[in-house]
Chain A
């Protein structure tokens, strides 16, 4: 009578599954919110250029006019805000590291179910 001994470690498979879900959630959020993220990144580039003496493109100057502020003031306001795409990526990396460090299925579920916010 032979006996097979198995040790079942589900963590590796569950981590892989959690990583896939987190990446999917962030990719989905990014695709839904893509224009805003892209526009923020582009405006930061322009704001930096303006602060360094560059000319403001028409759309940037138009936005400053709409807000009744100068082009320089708009550039300063944009630069004073955190870069959303950096914060977004940092949050994704936080989740992936938390997944690597999780030691139970419940911890992994909490990480996956904690949602995505920008």
Chain B
């Protein structure tokens, strides 16, 4: 029996495959875990791909954001254009591990110009969608 403990939004925070499930509900409750579901799935389910909704495991929907190129020329008019962005998504842009931009998008497209050569990580996150990560290289 697969048990998944989750938060108020359905994020799985712990999964256990239990072979003798008798009394396991009580053990979870005794340890303070009030929100959990159980089903007969063999093995575990990835927290990145699944969440809990209506008392069951549900696949996290995909975001269909796409980018036209992952390598652009730094400093010129060249740009990477992202399309299909889900409204209300949180956009994070990292350069060399430093967070450079953090904003919530209302637009469906993003045009990114990069003046300084480096590899940049662009992430789109919105619950319960699966997060999307792109690496954009800006070359001299």
Contact = CB atoms under 8 A, between A and B. Distances in A.
A2 interface: yes
A-side interface mostly: mixed
B95 A4 contact: no
Contacts of B135: none
A32 interface: no
Size range of the chain B interface in the assembly: 20 to 34
Given A8-B101, A13-B100, A105-B95, A2 B115 contact: no
B-side interface mostly: strand
Interface in A3-47: 3-11, 13-14, 17
B112 interface: yes
A2 B95 contact: no
B90 to A, nearest CB: 13
A59 interface: no
Contacts of B79: 5
A99 to B, nearest CB: 14
Interface residues of A, number: 17
Contact of B98 (A13, A103, A104): A13
A1 interface: yes
A3 B106 CA distance: 9
A27 B123 CA distance: 35
Q: Which 8 A-B pairs have the closest CB atoms?
A: A10-B95, A3-B109, A4-B107, A2-B107, A7-B113, A5-B111, A13-B98, A105-B118
